[in-house]
Structure 1
Amino acid sequence: MQMLDPAGIAPPFARYAHGVVTDPGARVLVTSGQLGLAPDGSVPEGAEAQARVCFANLDAILAEAGAARGHVLRLNAYVTGRHHMAGYMAARDAWLADLAQVPASTLMIVAGFTRPEFVVEVEALAALPGGASS
């Protein structure tokens, strides 16, 4: 994976890349949006706690595909209010803390999700190791 952060534009606001290039022929993993729904069906309060659950879910999906955080090319995240941005970003930055190269990332404010207690949703696009499948 190669991060693209051209010198001619403003640097990223946080721990993400403006663009990411992967090797030709890489297999692609696209996840559904993950909500802050724990395996026991509980939903923690607050954006940071919910985002940590979202990222744990993404870890499980990546592992199932034989991949890890470093294979993520792009994160798309949604929060239900501007006041949830800092909590989400803290969880995202912690999730990416050990990576030398970080994915592209977009964060949007939306009206809501399927249940009112959900305040964060995160989806990922990853390039899987091993190249094209046969």
Structure 2
Amino acid sequence: MMKAINLSDRPAPEVYSHAVEATGIGRILFVSGQVGVAADGSVASDVAGQAQQAAANLDAVLAEAGMSNANIAKCTIFLTDEANLGPFMQAAAGALPSPPPATTLVIVKALADPRLLVEIEAIAVG
């Protein structure tokens, strides 16, 4: 079971939790960074398309392990351009469970392929 923990002296964030407590853990799944590359090798040219594909790829890995995004306790997001933050947030809305997992978002210089604009990695428990 997972429980979101947020600081009581400030409003709870909408898109992440300050912490997530996981109890009764039977398994921990460490998911490598998922990017916006489709099964056919195509890559969307914009961050919204890549964010949606990266989230779909993450969901597919979780499903392969018998889990869903409801099992995500911690998520790390890498963006290559801070200007993409708004479009990423709009595209990723609804892709993560409620309450949202503990999340870190980092702006990085580049990812493994110059076409890539976003990468999402996760730790899931179940």
* Normalised TM-score (structure 2): 0.91
Q: Distance in 2 between matches of 1:127 and 1:34?
A: 18
- Offset at 1:101? 2.1
- The match for 2:116 among 115, 118, 126 is 118
1:109 corresponding residue in structure 2: 107
1:100 corresponding residue in structure 2: 98
Structure 1 stretches lacking a partner, 5+ long: 129-134
**In the alignment, does 2:30 pair up with 1:15?**
no
- Offset at 1:93? 1.9
Are the aligned partners of 2:25 and 2:125 in contact in 1 as well (CA < 8 Å)?
no
Identity %: 35
Q: Distance in 1 between matches of 2:91 and 2:110?
A: 20
Query: Going by fraction, where is strand more abundant, 1 or 2?
Result: 2
**In the alignment, does 2:57 pair up with 1:26?**
no
- Offset at 1:116? 1.2
Secondary structure of 2:93 counterpart: helix
Q: Distance in 1 between matches of 2:91 and 2:22?
A: 25
Distance 1:75 1:44, change over 3 A: same
Structural mapping, 1:1-134, within 5 Å: 1-9=2-10, 11-12=12-13, 14-96=14-96, 99-128=97-126
Query: What letter matches 1:47 in structure 2?
Result: V
Structure 2 stretches lacking a partner, 5+ long: none
1:132 corresponding residue in structure 2: none
Provide the aligned C-alpha RMSD in A: 1.4
- Offset at 1:8? 2.6
